[in-house]
Each structure stands twice: as structure tokens, then as C-alpha cells.
Amino acid sequence: MNIVEKLSEKGLTLSVVESCTGGKVAAYITDFAGSSEVFTEGVVTYANEAKVRLGVPEDIINKYGAVSAECAKEMASAVKRRTGSNIAVSTTGIAGPGGGTDEKPVGLVYSCILTDKSEKIYKFNFDGSRSDVRNKTVEAVVNNIMDTVERDY
């Protein structure tokens, strides 16, 4: 069963807000027929200013950085408020090849899945090219959404 069938079977809606994946999670989901019944909205907030416009408090970005568990949580919360979906998902990370530091290396990604019943933040450290990091993130996030639907609904 694919993600759209799973959400549809449960009568659930999903929204996403993406940074490092640049819309790839939304694209993956909307590749399935019937996605318009479950997918409410996808937002790409690549720049920090876009995250703030969405509703991420600027002090979260200033204190923890855009690539942080705290920012991922606020991104998911903001898109859930905006859309009213049952499940909201965020991605934020460093896809590379540049931009990494010792503290936050290339391949570091945070994702938050926020439902009506739970909140879970995931931290990943992927290796490979920029494309690899982004594709591995999409795969992990989709699997985590499927697990979340099973657990919460």
C-alpha cells in the first residue's frame, strides 16, 4: 500500500514544509493518483526569511539555527496551523556539498512529524552527494509517515 492509499484509508490529510528537500517530499506524494484527496499543501521555505514568514519564531533560528530539531518542530507546527491537516511534516538540513561545519556536517537532516496525537523529531546523518542526501531524506520521511499513521491511527 502506498502512502496516499494509507492516508486515504484512514481519512487523513497531510501537509509538508520542506527546506533541504526543496519540494521532493511533496513531489513524491503527489506522484500517486488520488493524492489531491489527502495532500493539503506543500511549502518550500529554503531561506530563513521564508521560515519566519511561515511562522517559525526568528529567535528559534537565531538560537538553534535553521538546521535544528527546534526549527524542524516549529516548521511542522506552523504548516499544521496553516493547513489544519491531520499530519504535518518538515525537513531541514544540509544537503551539501558545501555549508557543513564540524558541529553540523553535510548530510545532517532533521524532520518533524506532528499529528493530532503525537510529535516526533528525527535526526539523520546521511552520506553521499547532494542528490543522495535529498533522496535518502525523502525515503526516510515517507517511511516515517507510514509508521506514524500505523502508530497513531
Q: Encode pLDDT of 125-147 as tens digits.
A: 999 999 999 999 999 999 999 99
pTM of the model: 0.97
Give the closest residue to 118 by CA, choosing from 86, 70, 83, 79.
86
Residue 10 cell numbers, joined:
484512514
Per-residue pLDDT band for 58 (boundaries 50, 70, 90) equals very high
The DSSP output letter for 32 is S
- The fold of 3-152 is Maf protein (3.90.950)
